Structure 1
Amino acid sequence: MKSFNHRLLALTLASMVGTVAMASSLAAPTLPGFKRYDSNGDGFVSQEEFKAQGGQEQAFRAGDANHDDRLDRDEFVKASATNDRIKAGKYVDDAWITAKVKALLLKDEGVKGLDVNVETHQGTVQLSGWVNNPVQIAQAEKIARGVDGVTGVKNDLMVAH
């Protein structure tokens, strides 16, 4: 009976310590990203600090609930989530642009069946590979520029000899 009481007491104490530790961690959440963004250590993230870490101005504005041009910890969470959504959206847009350009190149009689590679980064399409003549280079670029969302084309296509 005595060893049972000691085990019960030990389990109760362990449970209480665990509960206190969990409560304190919930009461003061740590945001390792917040400290990295708050480069001057003033407890807030300015727009400049946010941008310096790759944050988008649109995300900063969405997070800045009280419009004081700085983010506290709660606002930072919202701004970070918005920033992640913006980045994900750009990736999806780039993938859609790449797929659309490839499909149009395959449909076009003048360039279909050629060895044309298409990559897109932040709306800029890069064309690379080999074609049979300079007219096909121009046609592939024209097709790429005609796709919605394309902000530029880097044409690295070359004529095969």
Structure 2
Amino acid sequence: MVSSAAQTPSSSVEQARQEGALQTALALNRLLNPFKIEVKVLGSTAHLRGEVENEVERQLAERVALATRGIETVQNDLKVNAELIEQPLERRAYAQRLEDATLASIIRARLLWSTHTQAASIEVDSREGVVTLRGQVSSAEAKELAGVLASSTEGVYLVNNLISLSAADMARLREEHQELIADPPLSDAWINDKVQTSFLYSRNLDGPNIKVATQDGVVRLSGEVVSSEQKTIAVEVARQIRGVRGVDADMLKVATKVSG
């Protein structure tokens, strides 16, 4: 075990980074965020202390720790206390509000990144995975795409698409869209980041297995997906990002099923 006195500045920074990453992962987990879990990282070992309601949550906390980069072993000192069932209700409600706010922000970001919805004024409200969209757009295509972007986002269970169309807003948004077209082109780095992030947010894709490279607005996808349907979805998700001039998916392979 490495003592704090023997730690170098770089190891202390890395320890703090790992502790912060693990604490964030625990806080974002909807099963674990109601509980007060203390985290300490020494070397590659994470120490967990506190109380959870049952053994399932105790083991889940350990798996979350092991999934954190740089952590190889876990000293799990979490105690199981069945009487916690009534205590975390207020924290659960608070955690749900945070989760709803995060989900709404993710959807707003995806709408902003999209060519068809970037200029639209769309309100996004999330309540326990039920998302309501309100506002006005310039075309039925934009309304449909907004609904698709919301419903395909991880964590969304139902979308109420209350977006409307009006002649005045259609004319105004067309003018705004023309102004946006005149803007300087978006950088390849920006496009690359938004395509990759959109893959990670999509419930229908295994984002980490899809590699993205962008040059002169042309997005090239490589890696492997589990089906031709996933490949089609990946192409469509990339194509609707602002600044994308084309999508090349020749190197994105569909996994071959092994029989027997």
Taking structure 1 as the reference length, the TM-score comes to 0.51
Q: Deviations over 1:9-55 (max 9, x none)?
A: xxxxxxxxxxxxxxxxxxxxxxxxxxxxxxxxxxxxxxxxxxxxxxx
1:81 alignment partner, SS class: coil
Q: In 1, distance between residues paired with 2:150 and 2:129?
A: 11
Give the Å deviation of 1:128. Answer: 0.4
Whichever structure has more strand as a proportion of its residues is: 2
Q: Which residue of 1 aligns with 2:91?
A: 85
Q: Which residue of 2 aligns with 1:31?
A: none
2:85 alignment partner, SS class: helix
Which aligned pairs between 1:1-161 and structure 2 lie closer than 5 A? 62=53, 75=83, 78-161=84-167
Whichever structure has more helix as a proportion of its residues is: 1
Q: Deviations over 1:89-133 (max 9, x none)?
A: 211110110000000000000110111111111111100010011
Based on CA coordinates, which of the two structures has the bigger radius of gyration?
Answer: 1
2:160 alignment partner, SS class: strand
2:118 alignment partner, SS class: coil
Give the Å deviation of 1:83. Answer: 1.5
Instruction: Give me the identity figure in percent.
Output: 22
Give the Å deviation of 1:85. Answer: 2.3
Contact 1:93 1:149 in 2 (8 A): no
Taking structure 2 as the reference length, the TM-score comes to 0.32
Q: In 2, distance between residues paired with 1:89 and 1:151?
A: 18
Q: In 1, distance between residues paired with 2:122 and 2:138?
A: 11
Q: Which runs of 5+ in 1 are unaligned?
A: 1-61, 64-73
Q: In 2, distance between residues paired with 1:111 and 1:80?
A: 43
Q: Deviations over 1:74-96 (max 9, x none)?
A: 94xx3332222222221111011
Q: Which runs of 5+ in 2 are unaligned?
A: 1-52, 55-81, 168-260
